[in-house]
Chain A
Amino acid sequence: MTDTVVAAPAPPQDFRIQRWSRLSVLFGGGLAGIVAVLAFGPVLLSENTQNNLIQLYFLMIMAMMWNALAGYGGLVSVGQQGFIGLGAYAAVFFSVQHGLNPYVSMGLGTLIGGAVAIPVAAVVLWLRNGAFAIATWVVAEAFAILVSLDPNPAIGGGTGTSALLPFNLRYDPTHRLHYTYWAALGAVAVLLLLLFVLLRSRLGGSLQAIRDDEEAAASVGVRVMLGKGVLFVVAGAGCAAAGTIILAWQLSVLPLGPDSVFGVNWTARMIFMVLVGGIGTFEGPIIGAVVLYVLQTYVSISGVWYFVMLGGIAIGFALLLPRGIWGTIQDRFNVQLLPVGYRLRTGGG
Protein backbone atom coordinates (compact mmCIF):
# COMPACT_ATOMS: atom_id res chain seq x y z
CA MET A 1 0.00 0.00 0.00
CA THR A 2 1.40 3.35 -0.93
CA ASP A 3 0.16 6.55 0.63
CA THR A 4 -0.06 9.92 -1.09
CA VAL A 5 -0.04 13.35 0.41
CA VAL A 6 -1.62 16.41 -1.18
CA ALA A 7 0.63 19.47 -1.47
CA ALA A 8 -0.40 23.09 -0.84
CA PRO A 9 -0.60 25.57 -3.76
CA ALA A 10 2.37 27.92 -4.44
CA PRO A 11 2.16 31.63 -3.38
CA PRO A 12 1.83 34.38 -6.04
CA GLN A 13 5.15 35.49 -7.46
CA ASP A 14 4.67 39.06 -8.58
CA PHE A 15 3.20 41.78 -6.41
CA ARG A 16 4.05 45.30 -5.32
CA ILE A 17 3.18 47.48 -2.38
CA GLN A 18 1.69 50.82 -3.18
CA ARG A 19 1.05 53.82 -0.93
CA TRP A 20 -0.03 56.57 -3.28
CA SER A 21 -2.69 55.57 -5.77
CA ARG A 22 -3.64 57.91 -8.59
CA LEU A 23 -6.83 58.81 -6.80
CA SER A 24 -5.04 59.70 -3.61
CA VAL A 25 -2.51 61.87 -5.41
CA LEU A 26 -5.39 63.72 -7.00
CA PHE A 27 -7.19 64.10 -3.74
CA GLY A 28 -4.10 65.12 -1.81
CA GLY A 29 -3.34 67.74 -4.38
CA GLY A 30 -6.95 68.87 -4.37
CA LEU A 31 -6.95 69.22 -0.62
CA ALA A 32 -3.80 71.31 -0.64
CA GLY A 33 -5.34 73.42 -3.34
CA ILE A 34 -8.49 74.00 -1.33
CA VAL A 35 -6.46 75.09 1.66
CA ALA A 36 -4.50 77.47 -0.52
CA VAL A 37 -7.69 78.98 -1.92
CA LEU A 38 -9.23 79.28 1.52
CA ALA A 39 -6.14 81.16 2.63
CA PHE A 40 -7.34 83.96 0.43
CA GLY A 41 -10.54 84.05 2.44
CA PRO A 42 -10.01 87.47 3.96
CA VAL A 43 -9.69 88.84 0.46
CA LEU A 44 -12.40 86.83 -1.27
CA LEU A 45 -15.07 86.24 1.34
CA SER A 46 -17.44 88.41 3.29
CA GLU A 47 -16.83 89.04 6.96
CA ASN A 48 -19.86 86.98 7.87
CA THR A 49 -18.56 84.03 5.91
CA GLN A 50 -15.13 84.32 7.46
CA ASN A 51 -16.72 84.38 10.88
CA ASN A 52 -18.66 81.24 10.09
CA LEU A 53 -15.68 79.47 8.61
CA ILE A 54 -13.67 80.08 11.79
CA GLN A 55 -16.34 78.06 13.56
CA LEU A 56 -16.02 75.32 10.98
CA TYR A 57 -12.26 75.28 11.48
CA PHE A 58 -12.30 74.86 15.22
CA LEU A 59 -15.03 72.25 14.94
CA MET A 60 -12.83 70.40 12.46
CA ILE A 61 -9.88 70.53 14.83
CA MET A 62 -11.97 69.11 17.66
CA ALA A 63 -13.37 66.36 15.44
CA MET A 64 -9.90 65.41 14.22
CA MET A 65 -8.55 65.27 17.75
CA TRP A 66 -11.43 63.24 19.16
CA ASN A 67 -11.16 60.85 16.24
CA ALA A 68 -7.43 60.53 16.82
CA LEU A 69 -8.15 59.40 20.38
CA ALA A 70 -11.19 57.22 19.84
CA GLY A 71 -10.78 56.10 16.26
CA TYR A 72 -7.06 55.48 16.22
CA GLY A 73 -6.35 54.88 19.87
CA GLY A 74 -9.58 53.31 21.05
CA LEU A 75 -9.69 55.93 23.80
CA VAL A 76 -13.17 57.31 24.35
CA SER A 77 -12.55 60.58 26.15
CA VAL A 78 -15.48 62.50 27.56
CA GLY A 79 -13.21 65.20 28.93
CA GLN A 80 -11.49 66.90 26.01
CA GLN A 81 -13.42 70.04 26.92
CA GLY A 82 -10.93 70.31 29.77
CA PHE A 83 -8.18 71.05 27.26
CA ILE A 84 -10.38 73.38 25.23
CA GLY A 85 -10.98 75.47 28.31
CA LEU A 86 -7.37 75.15 29.37
CA GLY A 87 -6.17 76.53 26.05
CA ALA A 88 -8.61 79.42 26.17
CA TYR A 89 -7.74 80.38 29.71
CA ALA A 90 -4.00 79.97 29.16
CA ALA A 91 -4.30 82.40 26.25
CA VAL A 92 -6.18 84.77 28.53
CA PHE A 93 -3.49 84.43 31.16
CA PHE A 94 -0.68 85.31 28.80
CA SER A 95 -2.43 88.08 26.91
CA VAL A 96 -4.50 89.73 29.63
CA GLN A 97 -2.23 89.27 32.58
CA HIS A 98 1.16 89.40 30.97
CA GLY A 99 0.42 91.60 28.03
CA LEU A 100 1.82 89.27 25.39
CA ASN A 101 0.59 89.47 21.82
CA PRO A 102 -2.69 87.55 21.78
CA TYR A 103 -1.69 85.34 18.87
CA VAL A 104 1.55 84.44 20.57
CA SER A 105 -0.55 83.70 23.64
CA MET A 106 -2.66 81.38 21.55
CA GLY A 107 0.44 79.51 20.49
CA LEU A 108 1.58 79.27 24.10
CA GLY A 109 -1.88 78.11 25.12
CA THR A 110 -1.62 75.28 22.62
CA LEU A 111 1.74 74.23 24.02
CA ILE A 112 0.42 74.38 27.57
CA GLY A 113 -2.41 72.06 26.52
CA GLY A 114 0.10 69.55 25.21
CA ALA A 115 2.30 69.89 28.28
CA VAL A 116 -0.54 69.38 30.77
CA ALA A 117 -1.69 66.36 28.77
CA ILE A 118 1.49 64.54 29.78
CA PRO A 119 0.87 64.21 33.53
CA VAL A 120 -2.84 63.66 32.89
CA ALA A 121 -1.94 60.82 30.51
CA ALA A 122 0.33 59.32 33.14
CA VAL A 123 -2.64 59.06 35.48
CA VAL A 124 -5.49 58.08 33.18
CA LEU A 125 -4.03 55.99 30.38
CA TRP A 126 -3.82 52.91 32.60
CA LEU A 127 -7.58 52.84 32.89
CA ARG A 128 -9.82 50.75 30.75
CA ASN A 129 -12.65 52.15 28.62
CA GLY A 130 -15.38 53.34 30.98
CA ALA A 131 -13.09 54.28 33.84
CA PHE A 132 -10.88 56.17 31.39
CA ALA A 133 -13.89 58.08 30.08
CA ILE A 134 -15.05 59.09 33.52
CA ALA A 135 -11.56 60.00 34.67
CA THR A 136 -11.12 62.36 31.72
CA TRP A 137 -14.43 63.98 32.60
CA VAL A 138 -13.38 64.39 36.23
CA VAL A 139 -10.12 66.00 35.10
CA ALA A 140 -12.07 68.42 32.90
CA GLU A 141 -14.41 69.28 35.77
CA ALA A 142 -11.44 69.75 38.08
CA PHE A 143 -9.87 72.19 35.61
CA ALA A 144 -13.15 74.07 35.34
CA ILE A 145 -13.59 74.35 39.08
CA LEU A 146 -9.98 75.41 39.64
CA VAL A 147 -10.39 78.14 37.06
CA SER A 148 -13.67 79.30 38.57
CA LEU A 149 -12.07 79.46 42.00
CA ASP A 150 -8.99 81.34 40.81
CA PRO A 151 -8.91 84.69 42.60
CA ASN A 152 -6.80 86.23 39.85
CA PRO A 153 -8.87 89.07 38.40
CA ALA A 154 -7.56 88.44 34.92
CA ILE A 155 -9.08 84.96 35.07
CA GLY A 156 -12.33 86.29 36.38
CA GLY A 157 -13.41 83.31 38.45
CA GLY A 158 -16.93 81.99 38.11
CA THR A 159 -18.20 84.97 36.18
CA GLY A 160 -15.83 84.47 33.31
CA THR A 161 -13.42 86.75 31.60
CA SER A 162 -12.74 88.41 28.31
CA ALA A 163 -9.80 88.94 26.00
CA LEU A 164 -11.32 92.06 24.56
CA LEU A 165 -8.55 94.31 25.75
CA PRO A 166 -5.44 92.60 24.44
CA PHE A 167 -7.02 92.17 21.02
CA ASN A 168 -8.55 95.59 20.68
CA LEU A 169 -5.44 97.37 21.88
CA ARG A 170 -3.51 95.96 18.99
CA TYR A 171 -5.94 95.25 16.17
CA ASP A 172 -9.09 96.75 14.75
CA PRO A 173 -11.97 94.28 14.42
CA THR A 174 -11.38 93.61 10.73
CA HIS A 175 -7.74 92.74 11.20
CA ARG A 176 -8.62 90.65 14.21
CA LEU A 177 -11.02 88.70 12.05
CA HIS A 178 -8.42 88.19 9.32
CA TYR A 179 -5.63 87.10 11.65
CA THR A 180 -7.94 84.81 13.61
CA TYR A 181 -9.16 83.30 10.35
CA TRP A 182 -5.62 82.58 9.23
CA ALA A 183 -4.66 81.27 12.64
CA ALA A 184 -7.63 78.90 12.58
CA LEU A 185 -7.04 77.73 9.02
CA GLY A 186 -3.36 77.38 9.74
CA ALA A 187 -4.08 75.27 12.81
CA VAL A 188 -6.33 72.97 10.77
CA ALA A 189 -3.71 72.57 8.08
CA VAL A 190 -0.87 71.95 10.54
CA LEU A 191 -2.87 69.40 12.53
CA LEU A 192 -4.05 67.63 9.37
CA LEU A 193 -0.45 67.38 8.24
CA LEU A 194 0.72 66.24 11.68
CA LEU A 195 -1.89 63.50 11.86
CA PHE A 196 -1.13 62.44 8.31
CA VAL A 197 2.56 62.11 9.04
CA LEU A 198 1.91 60.30 12.32
CA LEU A 199 -0.41 57.80 10.69
CA ARG A 200 1.99 57.03 7.87
CA SER A 201 4.83 56.52 10.30
CA ARG A 202 5.49 53.42 12.34
CA LEU A 203 3.24 54.88 14.98
CA GLY A 204 0.35 54.57 12.58
CA GLY A 205 1.00 50.89 12.10
CA SER A 206 1.37 50.39 15.84
CA LEU A 207 -1.93 52.13 16.45
CA GLN A 208 -3.71 49.86 14.02
CA ALA A 209 -2.21 46.88 15.81
CA ILE A 210 -3.23 48.26 19.19
CA ARG A 211 -6.74 48.79 17.96
CA ASP A 212 -7.03 45.26 16.68
CA ASP A 213 -5.57 43.46 19.67
CA GLU A 214 -3.68 45.32 22.38
CA GLU A 215 -2.15 42.31 24.07
CA ALA A 216 -0.97 40.76 20.86
CA ALA A 217 0.54 44.07 19.80
CA ALA A 218 2.40 44.42 23.09
CA SER A 219 3.71 40.90 22.77
CA VAL A 220 5.40 41.70 19.47
CA GLY A 221 7.06 44.76 20.90
CA VAL A 222 4.62 47.53 20.09
CA ARG A 223 4.99 50.25 22.71
CA VAL A 224 1.33 50.52 23.54
CA MET A 225 1.55 53.16 26.26
CA LEU A 226 3.85 55.32 24.17
CA GLY A 227 1.52 55.20 21.19
CA LYS A 228 -1.50 56.13 23.24
CA GLY A 229 0.51 58.77 25.09
CA VAL A 230 1.50 60.48 21.85
CA LEU A 231 -2.13 60.55 20.73
CA PHE A 232 -3.26 61.95 24.05
CA VAL A 233 -0.69 64.73 24.01
CA VAL A 234 -1.47 65.66 20.40
CA ALA A 235 -5.18 65.67 21.23
CA GLY A 236 -4.54 67.81 24.28
CA ALA A 237 -2.59 70.34 22.29
CA GLY A 238 -5.09 70.29 19.43
CA CYS A 239 -8.09 70.83 21.69
CA ALA A 240 -6.22 73.61 23.48
CA ALA A 241 -5.60 75.21 20.09
CA ALA A 242 -9.32 75.00 19.38
CA GLY A 243 -9.95 76.65 22.72
CA THR A 244 -7.62 79.54 21.93
CA ILE A 245 -9.40 80.05 18.62
CA ILE A 246 -12.76 80.11 20.38
CA LEU A 247 -11.35 82.80 22.65
CA ALA A 248 -10.13 84.84 19.73
CA TRP A 249 -13.44 84.43 17.99
CA GLN A 250 -15.92 85.16 20.76
CA LEU A 251 -13.59 87.08 23.07
CA SER A 252 -15.40 86.31 26.31
CA VAL A 253 -15.43 82.95 28.02
CA LEU A 254 -17.09 81.30 31.02
CA PRO A 255 -15.77 78.42 33.04
CA LEU A 256 -18.93 76.71 34.25
CA GLY A 257 -22.09 75.36 32.69
CA PRO A 258 -22.65 72.91 29.82
CA ASP A 259 -22.21 75.58 27.17
CA SER A 260 -19.11 77.10 28.65
CA VAL A 261 -15.64 76.68 27.22
CA PHE A 262 -15.27 73.79 29.70
CA GLY A 263 -18.72 72.49 28.91
CA VAL A 264 -19.60 68.88 28.20
CA ASN A 265 -21.54 69.99 25.12
CA TRP A 266 -18.24 70.26 23.27
CA THR A 267 -17.78 66.54 23.73
CA ALA A 268 -21.35 66.03 22.54
CA ARG A 269 -20.43 67.88 19.35
CA MET A 270 -17.17 65.97 18.93
CA ILE A 271 -18.90 62.61 19.29
CA PHE A 272 -21.55 63.67 16.82
CA MET A 273 -19.03 64.81 14.21
CA VAL A 274 -16.88 61.73 14.46
CA LEU A 275 -19.71 59.20 14.55
CA VAL A 276 -21.46 60.81 11.60
CA GLY A 277 -18.31 61.40 9.59
CA GLY A 278 -16.71 58.05 10.15
CA ILE A 279 -14.77 56.99 13.22
CA GLY A 280 -11.28 55.71 12.61
CA THR A 281 -11.00 57.16 9.13
CA PHE A 282 -8.83 60.11 8.19
CA GLU A 283 -11.43 61.89 6.11
CA GLY A 284 -14.35 61.15 8.44
CA PRO A 285 -13.94 63.94 11.01
CA ILE A 286 -13.64 66.53 8.25
CA ILE A 287 -16.94 65.40 6.77
CA GLY A 288 -18.55 65.24 10.21
CA ALA A 289 -17.44 68.78 10.99
CA VAL A 290 -18.94 70.01 7.74
CA VAL A 291 -22.23 68.24 8.54
CA LEU A 292 -22.39 69.77 12.01
CA TYR A 293 -21.47 73.17 10.68
CA VAL A 294 -24.22 73.02 8.06
CA LEU A 295 -26.76 71.91 10.68
CA GLN A 296 -25.63 74.63 13.03
CA THR A 297 -25.78 77.40 10.46
CA TYR A 298 -28.86 76.53 8.49
CA VAL A 299 -31.10 74.56 10.81
CA SER A 300 -32.59 77.03 13.21
CA ILE A 301 -34.26 75.21 16.05
CA SER A 302 -34.08 76.08 19.70
CA GLY A 303 -30.92 75.21 21.63
CA VAL A 304 -32.53 72.42 23.59
CA TRP A 305 -34.09 70.59 20.65
CA TYR A 306 -30.87 71.13 18.73
CA PHE A 307 -28.96 69.04 21.23
CA VAL A 308 -31.74 66.48 21.44
CA MET A 309 -31.37 66.13 17.70
CA LEU A 310 -27.59 65.87 17.90
CA GLY A 311 -27.81 63.24 20.61
CA GLY A 312 -30.46 61.29 18.75
CA ILE A 313 -28.54 61.32 15.48
CA ALA A 314 -25.34 60.27 17.25
CA ILE A 315 -27.15 57.33 18.86
CA GLY A 316 -28.69 56.41 15.53
CA PHE A 317 -25.34 56.38 13.79
CA ALA A 318 -23.67 54.42 16.59
CA LEU A 319 -26.31 51.72 16.36
CA LEU A 320 -27.20 51.64 12.68
CA LEU A 321 -24.30 53.08 10.73
CA PRO A 322 -21.35 52.61 13.07
CA ARG A 323 -18.78 53.25 10.38
CA GLY A 324 -20.20 56.69 9.70
CA ILE A 325 -20.69 58.26 6.31
CA TRP A 326 -17.10 58.00 5.15
CA GLY A 327 -16.46 54.64 6.75
CA THR A 328 -19.43 53.16 4.93
CA ILE A 329 -18.34 54.68 1.60
CA GLN A 330 -14.84 53.39 2.19
CA ASP A 331 -16.09 49.90 2.91
CA ARG A 332 -18.56 49.80 0.07
CA PHE A 333 -16.37 51.18 -2.67
CA ASN A 334 -12.94 50.30 -1.38
CA VAL A 335 -11.91 53.89 -1.82
CA GLN A 336 -9.14 55.58 0.06
CA LEU A 337 -8.56 59.21 -0.72
CA LEU A 338 -5.57 59.83 1.48
CA PRO A 339 -2.73 57.32 1.55
CA VAL A 340 -2.54 56.40 5.19
CA GLY A 341 -2.53 52.69 4.51
CA TYR A 342 -0.80 50.20 2.28
CA ARG A 343 -2.32 48.55 -0.76
CA LEU A 344 -1.17 45.23 -2.05
CA ARG A 345 -1.40 44.90 -5.82
CA THR A 346 -0.81 41.56 -7.39
CA GLY A 347 0.18 40.86 -10.97
CA GLY A 348 0.72 43.95 -13.07
CA GLY A 349 -2.09 46.00 -11.50
Chain B
Amino acid sequence: MSALLTVENLDVRHGLLQAVREVAFDVAEGETLALVGANGAGKSTLLRAIAGAHRPAGGRILFAGEDITRVPAHRRARAGIALVPEGRRLFPDLTVEENLRVAAASRRPGPWTVDEVFEAFPLLQPLRRKRAASLSGGEQQATAIGRALMTNPRLLLLDEVSLGLAPVVVEGVYHSLAALIEGGTTILLVEQDLGRAMSVADRVVCMLEGRVVLEGLRGQLTREQVTHAYFGLRQQEATA
Protein backbone atom coordinates (compact mmCIF):
# COMPACT_ATOMS: atom_id res chain seq x y z
CA MET B 1 0.00 0.00 0.00
CA SER B 2 1.53 3.36 -0.97
CA ALA B 3 1.86 5.95 1.75
CA LEU B 4 -0.48 8.90 2.07
CA LEU B 5 2.39 11.18 3.05
CA THR B 6 6.02 10.79 2.08
CA VAL B 7 8.73 13.09 3.34
CA GLU B 8 12.00 12.79 1.42
CA ASN B 9 15.30 14.25 2.58
CA LEU B 10 13.68 17.37 3.95
CA ASP B 11 15.81 20.36 4.95
CA VAL B 12 14.11 23.28 6.66
CA ARG B 13 15.84 26.41 7.92
CA HIS B 14 14.97 29.27 10.24
CA GLY B 15 17.14 31.94 8.70
CA LEU B 16 20.64 30.51 9.08
CA LEU B 17 19.63 27.89 11.65
CA GLN B 18 19.03 24.42 10.27
CA ALA B 19 15.91 23.15 12.05
CA VAL B 20 15.24 20.00 10.05
CA ARG B 21 18.03 17.93 8.48
CA GLU B 22 17.50 15.26 5.82
CA VAL B 23 14.35 13.96 7.42
CA ALA B 24 12.60 11.11 5.62
CA PHE B 25 9.64 8.97 6.61
CA ASP B 26 6.24 7.76 5.43
CA VAL B 27 2.78 7.88 6.88
CA ALA B 28 0.32 5.28 5.63
CA GLU B 29 -3.39 5.98 5.21
CA GLY B 30 -5.25 5.45 8.48
CA GLU B 31 -2.05 5.32 10.52
CA THR B 32 -1.32 7.35 13.62
CA LEU B 33 2.29 8.48 13.77
CA ALA B 34 3.76 10.15 16.84
CA LEU B 35 6.67 12.54 16.45
CA VAL B 36 8.59 12.91 19.70
CA GLY B 37 11.69 14.78 20.76
CA ALA B 38 12.95 17.51 23.05
CA ASN B 39 12.29 21.22 22.55
CA GLY B 40 14.10 22.52 19.52
CA ALA B 41 14.33 19.12 17.90
CA GLY B 42 12.55 20.46 14.85
CA LYS B 43 9.18 18.74 15.23
CA SER B 44 6.97 21.83 14.95
CA THR B 45 9.00 23.14 12.05
CA LEU B 46 8.58 19.83 10.31
CA LEU B 47 4.81 19.88 10.78
CA ARG B 48 4.62 23.45 9.52
CA ALA B 49 6.67 22.51 6.48
CA ILE B 50 4.30 19.63 5.73
CA ALA B 51 1.29 21.95 6.11
CA GLY B 52 2.88 24.57 3.87
CA ALA B 53 3.43 27.27 6.45
CA HIS B 54 7.20 27.02 6.08
CA ARG B 55 9.22 26.64 2.88
CA PRO B 56 11.75 23.83 2.91
CA ALA B 57 15.29 24.55 1.72
CA GLY B 58 15.66 21.10 0.21
CA GLY B 59 13.95 17.75 -0.19
CA ARG B 60 10.43 16.79 -1.22
CA ILE B 61 7.01 16.27 0.29
CA LEU B 62 4.59 13.92 -1.44
CA PHE B 63 0.92 13.75 -0.58
CA ALA B 64 -1.34 11.11 -2.14
CA GLY B 65 1.29 10.62 -4.79
CA GLU B 66 1.59 14.32 -5.74
CA ASP B 67 4.63 16.49 -5.13
CA ILE B 68 3.35 19.32 -2.95
CA THR B 69 6.72 20.80 -1.98
CA ARG B 70 6.01 24.07 -3.78
CA VAL B 71 2.27 24.14 -3.23
CA PRO B 72 1.06 27.06 -1.02
CA ALA B 73 -0.58 26.35 2.32
CA HIS B 74 -4.14 27.18 1.36
CA ARG B 75 -4.05 24.75 -1.54
CA ARG B 76 -2.71 22.01 0.72
CA ALA B 77 -5.64 22.60 3.06
CA ARG B 78 -7.94 22.22 0.07
CA ALA B 79 -6.15 19.00 -0.83
CA GLY B 80 -6.81 17.61 2.62
CA ILE B 81 -3.93 18.49 4.95
CA ALA B 82 -5.02 20.20 8.17
CA LEU B 83 -2.71 21.50 10.87
CA VAL B 84 -3.70 22.30 14.45
CA PRO B 85 -0.89 24.75 15.16
CA GLU B 86 1.25 24.94 18.25
CA GLY B 87 -0.39 27.37 20.64
CA ARG B 88 -3.79 26.90 19.08
CA ARG B 89 -3.72 30.20 17.12
CA LEU B 90 -7.43 30.82 17.16
CA PHE B 91 -8.75 34.05 15.66
CA PRO B 92 -9.20 35.98 18.91
CA ASP B 93 -12.03 38.31 17.96
CA LEU B 94 -14.10 35.69 16.17
CA THR B 95 -16.56 33.52 18.08
CA VAL B 96 -16.11 29.78 18.41
CA GLU B 97 -18.65 29.17 15.67
CA GLU B 98 -17.04 31.78 13.39
CA ASN B 99 -13.64 30.19 13.95
CA LEU B 100 -15.11 26.88 12.82
CA ARG B 101 -16.86 28.38 9.82
CA VAL B 102 -13.70 29.99 8.45
CA ALA B 103 -12.64 26.47 7.56
CA ALA B 104 -15.32 26.36 4.89
CA ALA B 105 -12.64 28.05 2.81
CA SER B 106 -11.11 24.64 2.24
CA ARG B 107 -14.20 23.73 0.18
CA ARG B 108 -13.90 20.04 0.99
CA PRO B 109 -17.02 17.93 1.32
CA GLY B 110 -17.21 15.48 4.15
CA PRO B 111 -18.86 14.39 7.41
CA TRP B 112 -17.64 17.27 9.56
CA THR B 113 -20.07 20.15 10.07
CA VAL B 114 -20.47 22.68 12.86
CA ASP B 115 -23.03 20.42 14.54
CA GLU B 116 -20.79 17.36 14.20
CA VAL B 117 -17.96 19.26 15.88
CA PHE B 118 -20.19 20.26 18.77
CA GLU B 119 -21.24 16.64 19.13
CA ALA B 120 -17.63 15.48 19.24
CA PHE B 121 -16.70 18.25 21.68
CA PRO B 122 -19.83 18.82 23.76
CA LEU B 123 -18.03 21.27 26.04
CA LEU B 124 -18.04 23.75 23.15
CA GLN B 125 -21.78 23.71 22.58
CA PRO B 126 -22.63 26.40 25.18
CA LEU B 127 -19.65 28.48 24.00
CA ARG B 128 -20.79 28.85 20.40
CA ARG B 129 -21.07 32.61 20.45
CA LYS B 130 -18.22 33.32 22.81
CA ARG B 131 -15.16 35.22 21.64
CA ALA B 132 -12.27 32.82 21.16
CA ALA B 133 -9.89 34.99 23.19
CA SER B 134 -12.05 34.53 26.29
CA LEU B 135 -11.90 30.73 26.28
CA SER B 136 -9.85 28.59 28.64
CA GLY B 137 -6.87 26.60 27.36
CA GLY B 138 -8.77 23.36 27.06
CA GLU B 139 -11.71 25.01 25.32
CA GLN B 140 -9.34 26.70 22.89
CA GLN B 141 -7.64 23.42 22.13
CA ALA B 142 -10.97 21.75 21.44
CA THR B 143 -11.96 24.64 19.16
CA ALA B 144 -8.66 24.48 17.31
CA ILE B 145 -9.01 20.77 16.69
CA GLY B 146 -12.63 21.19 15.68
CA ARG B 147 -11.64 23.96 13.31
CA ALA B 148 -9.08 21.75 11.60
CA LEU B 149 -11.63 18.95 11.37
CA MET B 150 -14.06 21.30 9.63
CA THR B 151 -11.76 21.12 6.60
CA ASN B 152 -12.58 17.40 6.35
CA PRO B 153 -8.91 16.49 6.19
CA ARG B 154 -7.31 13.32 4.93
CA LEU B 155 -4.24 14.04 7.03
CA LEU B 156 -4.53 15.72 10.42
CA LEU B 157 -1.42 17.27 11.91
CA LEU B 158 -1.54 17.94 15.66
CA ASP B 159 1.18 20.09 17.17
CA GLU B 160 1.59 19.72 20.92
CA VAL B 161 -2.10 19.63 21.82
CA SER B 162 -1.25 19.06 25.47
CA LEU B 163 0.97 22.14 25.76
CA GLY B 164 0.05 24.44 28.63
CA LEU B 165 -2.98 22.39 29.67
CA ALA B 166 -3.76 20.81 33.03
CA PRO B 167 -3.49 16.99 33.06
CA VAL B 168 -7.21 16.50 33.52
CA VAL B 169 -7.85 18.75 30.51
CA VAL B 170 -5.31 16.86 28.44
CA GLU B 171 -7.14 13.67 29.39
CA GLY B 172 -10.32 15.16 27.95
CA VAL B 173 -8.61 16.23 24.75
CA TYR B 174 -7.12 12.79 24.14
CA HIS B 175 -10.44 11.20 24.96
CA SER B 176 -11.98 13.14 22.08
CA LEU B 177 -9.02 12.29 19.89
CA ALA B 178 -9.45 8.58 20.59
CA ALA B 179 -12.63 8.51 18.56
CA LEU B 180 -10.84 10.21 15.69
CA ILE B 181 -7.93 7.84 15.85
CA GLU B 182 -10.16 4.80 15.89
CA GLY B 183 -12.24 6.25 13.08
CA GLY B 184 -9.40 5.85 10.63
CA THR B 185 -8.25 9.46 10.08
CA THR B 186 -4.55 9.61 9.28
CA ILE B 187 -2.90 11.48 12.10
CA LEU B 188 0.60 12.84 12.60
CA LEU B 189 0.99 14.19 16.09
CA VAL B 190 3.79 15.94 17.89
CA GLU B 191 3.77 15.21 21.58
CA GLN B 192 6.26 15.88 24.34
CA ASP B 193 4.54 13.51 26.74
CA LEU B 194 6.19 10.21 25.81
CA GLY B 195 3.68 8.09 27.65
CA ARG B 196 0.76 9.61 25.81
CA ALA B 197 2.50 9.44 22.48
CA MET B 198 3.34 5.78 22.81
CA SER B 199 -0.14 4.87 23.99
CA VAL B 200 -2.06 6.38 21.05
CA ALA B 201 0.34 5.96 18.15
CA ASP B 202 0.86 3.04 15.81
CA ARG B 203 4.39 4.20 15.04
CA VAL B 204 6.85 6.50 16.75
CA VAL B 205 9.51 8.71 15.18
CA CYS B 206 12.02 10.38 17.47
CA MET B 207 13.86 13.52 16.42
CA LEU B 208 16.95 15.16 17.84
CA GLU B 209 18.54 18.37 16.59
CA GLY B 210 16.65 18.17 13.34
CA ARG B 211 17.35 14.54 12.49
CA VAL B 212 15.37 11.36 12.82
CA VAL B 213 17.27 9.25 15.32
CA LEU B 214 14.81 6.45 15.97
CA GLU B 215 11.80 5.01 14.22
CA GLY B 216 9.69 1.99 14.86
CA LEU B 217 6.34 0.39 15.56
CA ARG B 218 4.92 0.91 18.99
CA GLY B 219 5.20 -2.69 19.98
CA GLN B 220 8.82 -2.94 18.85
CA LEU B 221 10.31 -0.05 20.81
CA THR B 222 10.92 0.02 24.51
CA ARG B 223 10.38 3.13 26.48
CA GLU B 224 14.01 3.13 27.44
CA GLN B 225 15.12 3.11 23.81
CA VAL B 226 12.93 6.06 23.01
CA THR B 227 14.10 7.98 26.07
CA HIS B 228 17.71 7.51 25.12
CA ALA B 229 17.11 8.62 21.55
CA TYR B 230 15.16 11.60 22.91
CA PHE B 231 18.11 12.85 24.95
CA GLY B 232 20.78 11.99 22.44
CA LEU B 233 22.59 9.58 24.63
CA ARG B 234 24.62 7.06 22.70
CA GLN B 235 24.83 3.50 23.80
CA GLN B 236 27.93 1.37 23.66
CA GLU B 237 27.02 -2.07 22.42
CA ALA B 238 23.61 -3.47 23.33
CA THR B 239 23.57 -4.77 26.84
CA ALA B 240 21.08 -6.95 28.58
Contact = CB atoms under 8 A, between A and B. Distances in A.
A14 interface: no
A1 interface: yes
A2 B228 CA distance: 12
Interface secondary structure of B, over-half rule: loop
Interface in A1-18: 1-4
A2 B236 CA distance: 6
B216 to A, nearest CB: 20
Interface string B212-240: 00000000000000000000011110010
Interface secondary structure of A, over-half rule: loop
Contacts of B233: 3
A4 B234 CA distance: 6
B61 to A, nearest CB: 30
Nearest to A2: B236
Contacts of A4: 234
Contacts, number: 8
Interface in A110-147: none
Contacts of A1: 235-236, 239
Contacts of B236: 1-2
Nearest to B235: A1
A272 B235 CA distance: 65
A4 B228 CA distance: 12
Contacts of B234: 3-4
A4 B233 CA distance: 7
Nearest to B238: A1
Interface in B69-109: none
Contacts of B239: 1
Interface in A71-122: none
Nearest to A3: B233
Interface in A315-344: none
A3 B224 CA distance: 14
A3 B235 CA distance: 6
Contacts of A2: 236
Interface in A210-247: none
Nearest to B228: A3
B94 to A, nearest CB: 24
Contacts of A3: 233-235
A9 to B, nearest CB: 15
A4 B235 CA distance: 8
B208 to A, nearest CB: 11
B157 to A, nearest CB: 30
A3 B233 CA distance: 6
A313 to B, nearest CB: 32
Nearest to A6: B232
Interface string A170-186: 00000000000000000
A94 to B, nearest CB: 55
Contacts of B235: 1, 3
A347 B239 CA distance: 48
A1 B233 CA distance: 10
A1 B236 CA distance: 6
A1 B239 CA distance: 7
A1 B228 CA distance: 12
Nearest to B237: A1
Nearest to B231: A3
A212 to B, nearest CB: 14
B222 to A, nearest CB: 14
A3 B239 CA distance: 13
Nearest to B234: A4
A3 B231 CA distance: 11
B225 to A, nearest CB: 12
B39 to A, nearest CB: 18
B173 to A, nearest CB: 33
Nearest to A4: B234
B13 to A, nearest CB: 20
A1 B224 CA distance: 13
A3 B236 CA distance: 8
A225 B84 CA distance: 40
Interface in A246-290: none
B162 to A, nearest CB: 28
B138 to A, nearest CB: 31
Interface string A3-38: 110000000000000000000000000000000000
A203 B234 CA distance: 51
B89 to A, nearest CB: 21
8 contacts: A1-B235, A1-B236, A1-B239, A2-B236, A3-B233, A3-B234, A3-B235, A4-B234
Interface of A: 1-4
Given A1-B239, A2-B236, 6 more contacts: A1-B235, A1-B236, A3-B233, A3-B234, A3-B235, A4-B234
Interface of B: 233-236, 239
Sorted from nearest, which 5 A-B pairs have the closest CB atoms?
A3-B233, A1-B235, A4-B234, A2-B236, A1-B239
